[in-house]
Chain A
């Protein structure tokens, strides 16, 4: 069943079939009354309907300034109406709400920077997703990733033996480059637990290879966990399944705690960073994460500035840098990212707007995870990103985030931008000196 203008995918449609009016009303009111408080009330009552948030949203800008796609417009069509009707909303309304909250919002939080009052509209879209989750009408593909999280504690149904096999396979391959290279599994007391998202072992195992080479060359005392808890991704965080989301984050921290590592370094992923640095910890009652969580960007910066790895020859092609929401607006790493690019590339051009103000890749916030049925609209909905990229004239687009990477690959192909999309790790791997770090040399 392919989505059309008036229908969504199988999971949503069949879910809607099952719903009764009584359950809809009860669920909407339960979430809006019991799971919110003064913060939500203040957001609703403070909004002056000024429309200034519109300029923030790539969906609005990409659709010829269609008011239906502006941030407050999305709130009007979901939350305000739910409040006004005291939860008595129809199935057609809910179908529209699923489209708005899951497919037309990246929860990128850019609009908080365009609302003069700093109203957190992404928070309200996540509340809508929470209602959708409780009504069991979450889009099919993203719900499948949550089911996988629930059953396996990783996002992609990777079995335990497959995970360990993949790591050993990458280790074996990398030993052709470095004779003594290891991917140490479950090494207690290591300085670093390195963690990745499940798509890496599933279909991008080369990234684990690269990371292992970088770790080895830098002479780090590191380890990777063999048991469930190795995956730092968290799709439940984006479907409003807070209970599963909290479970995922807890398993992750517990794995690090059991290995007794000093800190956690993670691969180039944005949403996973948001989960283990900002969101998952809260559900587990940690104001801030119980471990020092270091994003790859920050880690590369540390390795380069400390001279643990050296660059033989800077990357020569003209590059531009995409600021992933969850590490720029989400962690302020944008300036560090530029320094890393400066240390590794010789020809860098900015895209505008940038840093905290950068447009989302259009894939984030679980949008790309709603799957292939919605790829077409995702392309239309991020025209503004394509224009921004085209204006740079760069040959290579560096995107230090998995979601951004996949989303931007799609954009680049769809709009025929003729750009290569790379991770920062790809650039470092290509340009670094492949020798083992010895202090003082």
Chain B
């Protein structure tokens, strides 16, 4: 049992991060390479200025008109995405692990606040699930895969939350937490989670077409 825990907390973490970062890196390389060989025109229109202008405009909460028309969704979405990165990266328990392994550390979030953010993440996921079940235009597009993606994100946060509060079997909860977290990382490059990089690319191109060619705003 201990050997198993050592494995998932040691080599498996390395493997997960390698697949996560390597996979995304490879994906990015493959896209750029394919665009170069097959759709070179993309680079005739793409500019850093218009790309960053568009990405920037869409990163400012409620700046694009479309976001103001869906305040609940975007409100939940902004907080969810922010917390999704902030909680795992700045959780004191995670930082301690990194410090033990590499002797580097950084300031941690207050545990109660991190706990609250975790609840927010879980609540947001419940909201996204509800939308998929109820709102007709979202329901129309939704397949089992979409629920699976929500589930994959839910498990590491839910198990982390339960483990922190030591409800149910702590050790099993912890194992589940680690495995599901690693699974999420591994699946990112192979699923639509890779929108974490591709969304920037599609936005950049549309932003450039709108800004550079059509002299219009796309927000």
Contacts and interface: CB of A to CB of B under 8 A. Distances in A.
A307 interface: no
A67 B140 contact: yes
B189 to A, nearest CB: 11
A282 B40 CA distance: 12
A237 to B, nearest CB: 15
A56 interface: yes
Interface of A: 37-39, 41-43, 45-52, 54-56, 60, 65, 67-68, 70, 72-73, 76, 112-114, 116-120, 278, 282, 287-288, 328-332, 353, 356-357
Nearest to B70: A52
Interface string B52-96: 001000100000111101100100000000000000000000000
B38 A38 contact: yes
A130 to B, nearest CB: 15
Interface stretch (B17-25, B117-125, B195-203): B195-203
Given A67-B136, A67-B137, A39 B213 contact: no
A116 B59 CA distance: 10
Interface stretch (B97-105, B156-164, B204-212): B204-212
A117 B38 contact: no
Given A39-B35, A39-B42, A54 B217 contact: no
A209 B195 CA distance: 54
Interface residues of B, number: 51
Given A65-B136, A72-B141, A52 B66 contact: yes
22 contacts: A37-B34, A39-B39, A41-B31, A42-B31, A45-B194, A46-B194, A46-B202, A52-B66, A55-B66, A55-B69, A112-B210, A113-B64, A113-B218, A116-B58, A117-B195, A118-B206, A119-B206, A282-B41, A329-B214, A331-B216, A332-B216, A332-B217
B63 to A, nearest CB: 12
Given A45-B194, A65-B137, A67-B137, A38 B31 contact: yes
B86 to A, nearest CB: 20
Contacts of B32: 38
A212 to B, nearest CB: 29
Contacts of A37: 34-35, 38-39
B198 A46 contact: yes
B65 A353 contact: yes
Interface string B112-154: 0000000000000000000100011111111100100000000
Contact of A112 (B34, B35, B45, B206): B206
B195 A49 contact: no
Contacts of B34: 37-38, 41
Nearest to A117: B199
Nearest to B131: A51
Contacts of A113: 64-66, 218-219
